[in-house]
Amino acid sequence: MTFEPPILSVKSLSVALPPGADRPYAIHDISLDLRPAEILCIVGESGSGKSILSSTLMGALPRGLAIQSGGLKLHDQALGDIDLTAQSERAWRDIRGRRIAMIPQEPMAALNPSAKVGRQIEEVFAIHGRLAPQRRQRGARRAEAIRLIQEMHLPDPERIAASYPHQLSGGQCQRICIAMALALNPDVLIADEPTTALDVTSQAQVLKLICELRDVHRQAVLFITHDLGVVADIADRIAVMEKGRLVEIGSAQDILKRPAQAYTQALIAAVPSFEPKPRPPAPNVKPGHCLEVEGLSKTYGRTRALKPANLTVERATTLAVVGESGSGKSTLARLLVRLIEPSAGSALVNGHDLARLRGAALQHARRRIQMIFQDPFGSLNPRRSVGATIARAAELAGCTRQEAQNRAKTLLQRVGLSAAAYGRRPAAFSGGQRQRVGIARALAMRPDVLIADESVSALDVSVQAQVLNLLRELQLELGLTIVFITHDLRVAAQISDRVAVMRSGEIVELADTASVILHPQHPYTRALIGAAPGRGAI
């Protein structure tokens, strides 16, 4: 924390939404200051207006939106305060990239797919007329781009500079984007959810890099995120936004340890804790293995997506399967529900080997194991009412049409929606509500096992907590066995009895939750836990 004058000051800023939107303002009456060499994290859930705020600060609001009132000033050593609300587009072009730069959310999509990344970094110099390529200095831009890539701790910078974005990983692309942002040493860096699309290990590296930017280059960083773990790790100060308003702002310590506002308190409480809690077993459950997997594997041509896997899950317990992208956890999930054909092995659900059955026997056995999906928008047929979707599942399980409709209505209520929701189409519901519909649909077949494939990853943290609680209630009530696929160790810590850690197609560690989280054995597990943000603070 410094006591220098703020480099960016926002006073009572409001941006109006066009008429017909669900609220009159995108952001309303926002006031905050950003100082050099500090990281200010803006935390909010979806619809909080944090992205609009970042667009406003870059003078890049979408068409139809404009600053309605309030002040936005950029402090310049020589010129004093520049009023950013009154700048022409031409003036903004000079400011963008040179004084204020942005680090985007989806790094690979944010890079031009048909230009080499080195050239894209060089372009920043070209746009702002720096390092003009005169005859002697022809290589100056290129050399500087390579130096920047090196500063990002990327090995073999020449080769990286000559690569196209699709030839690099997400984490590498993000570091290129950071290099681009850093090129002209701007005063302010706006990072809009820069690590949301990255694996947890890439995320840790990028976060470390951003902290370096603050420490070494003394940049003022405005870091927008929904992930409180990340905030706990890197923030100097925190601002909490909800529905376009600033709820609370203060030092990281104050906000995290002594939140004043109810919304902030609820938000922090909803974050799953790393401390595994004791989980009482479900009552009235016959002990034994519900799911037994032996030697299950999948090979595509030469790639081994899943090496022979062995695991068992006790009835009415939850197994979390944790891994980064490419670990094989999704393949495992899809094999378990026989969405793809296994190359070898067996998967027994209460004695029935789903991996080997065919025809009518397979059809009949399918009802024992069902899945809830990640994307609330793609998991329901948009042309059908949610009631019909759930009822169809019940019909396939053997109900008559009338029975199926009744069961659908009952399930809708059980998951927290009203029976009147039966006739509505998915578009009428929010993301969290659609996930509840997905749960109702899965339960319509009265399965023994439920596979949740990243089912809360696309949800806001408060909605996520509700859905996880719902699943726990259902588990206790129905004796459900749950296999929960996730990349989020916190979720795994909170909701599971046992954890399987996967990497490159194999299970590297499988033990009860407390052991895995608190005393990890495998080096990869240790690395994964080490990289998880905010571990001590929240």
Helix/strand/coil (H/E/C) assignment for every residue in 382-433: CCCCHHHHHHHHHHHCCCCHHHHHHHHHHHHHHCCCCHHHHHCCHHHCCHHH
Residue 538 in the binding site for other proteins (CB under 8 A): no
Q: Does 381 bind other proteins (CB under 8 A)?
A: yes
Sheet bearing 449-453, strands edge to edge: 369-372, 449-453, 481-486, 318-322, 498-503, 506-512
Q: Does 373 bind other proteins (CB under 8 A)?
A: yes
Which of the ranges 27-35, 94-102, 219-227, 486-494 carries the binding residues for other proteins, by CB under 8 A?
Answer: 94-102
Q: Which one of 445, 468, 493, 502 is in contact with other proteins (CB under 8 A)?
A: 445
- Rule CB under 8 A: is residue 383 a binding residue for other proteins? yes
Which of 38-46, 297-305, 323-331, 391-399 is the region at the interface with other proteins (rule: CB under 8 A)? 391-399
498-503/237-242 β-pairing? unpaired
CA contacts within 13 A on the Cβ side of 429: 29
- Residues 258-317 contacting other proteins, CB under 8 A: none
DSSP per-residue codes, 504-529:
TTEEEEEEEHHHHHHS--SHHHHHHH
Query: How many whole angstroms separate alpha carbon 418 and alpha carbon 422?
Result: 8
User: Which pair of tokens denotes residue 260?
Assistant: 């004043």
Give how many residues touch other proteins by CB under 8 A: 64
| Contact stretch for other proteins (CB under 8 A) within 207-215, 285-293, 381-389, 406-414 | 381-389
Please pick, from the candidates 27, 43, 72, 102, the single residue that binds other proteins as defined by CB under 8 A: 102
Residue 535 near other proteins by CB under 8 A? no
Is residue 325 involved in binding other proteins (CB under 8 A)? no
Residue 144 in contact with other proteins, rule: CB under 8 A: no
* 123 vs 144 by CB, closer to other proteins: 123
Residue 40 Cβ, how far from other proteins at the closest point, in Å?
19
Give per-residue burial for 1-19: e unless 16+ CB within 10 Å, then b.
eeeeebbbbbeebbbbbee
CB of 97 to other proteins, least distance (A): 4
* Contact call for residue 399 and other proteins (CB under 8 A): no
User: Does residue number 409 form part of the binding site for other proteins (CB under 8 A)?
Assistant: no
Q: Taking CB under 8 A as the rule, does residue 432 contact other proteins?
A: no
Do residues 384 and 350 lie in contact, with contact meaning Cβ atoms separated by under 8 Å? no
List Cα–Cα distances, 177 to 145, 222, 331, 378, 518, in angstroms.
12, 16, 31, 30, 35
Residues 6+ apart with CB under 8 A from 63: none
Residue 97 interacts with other proteins (CB under 8 A)? Answer: yes
Question: Which string of b and e fits 121-147 if b means at least 16 CB within 10 Å?
Answer: bbbbbeeeeebeeeeeeeebbbebbbe
Stretch 58-77 residues interacting with other proteins (CB under 8 A): 58, 60
- Amino acid identity, residue 496? S
User: How many CB atoms sit inside 10 A of residue 281's CB?
Assistant: 12
Please tell me the distance from the alpha carbon of residue 228 to that of residue 266, in angstroms, as a whole number: 12
Chain position carrying tokens 């797919």: 113
Please identify which residue in 61, 357, 362, 527 interacts with other proteins, judged by CB under 8 A. 362
Question: For residues 47 and 243, is the Cβ–Cβ distance under 8 A?
Answer: yes
11 binds other proteins, rule: CB under 8 A = no
Segment near other proteins (CB under 8 A); pick from 37-45, 76-84, 367-375, 505-513: 367-375
Q: Is 371 in the site for other proteins (CB under 8 A)?
A: yes
Answer yes or no whether residue 357 interacts with other proteins by CB under 8 A: no
Q: Is 516 exposed, middle or buried (0-12, 13-18, 19+ CB in 10 A)?
A: buried
| CB of 179 closer than 8 Å to CB of 103 | no
**253 alpha-carbon distance from chain centroid:** 24
Q: Segment near other proteins (CB under 8 A), from 103-111, 235-243, 307-315, 324-332?
A: 103-111
Q: Which stretch in 29-37, 74-82, 362-370, 403-411 sits in contact with other proteins by CB under 8 A?
A: 362-370
The 493-532 contact track toward other proteins, x by CB under 8 A, reads ----------------------------------------
Q: Which residues bind other proteins (CB under 8 A)?
A: 20, 58, 60, 92-98, 101-102, 104, 106, 109-115, 123-124, 127-128, 159, 162-164, 166-169, 172, 177, 180, 337-339, 362-364, 366-367, 370-371, 373-375, 378-384, 389, 392-393, 396-397, 438, 441, 445
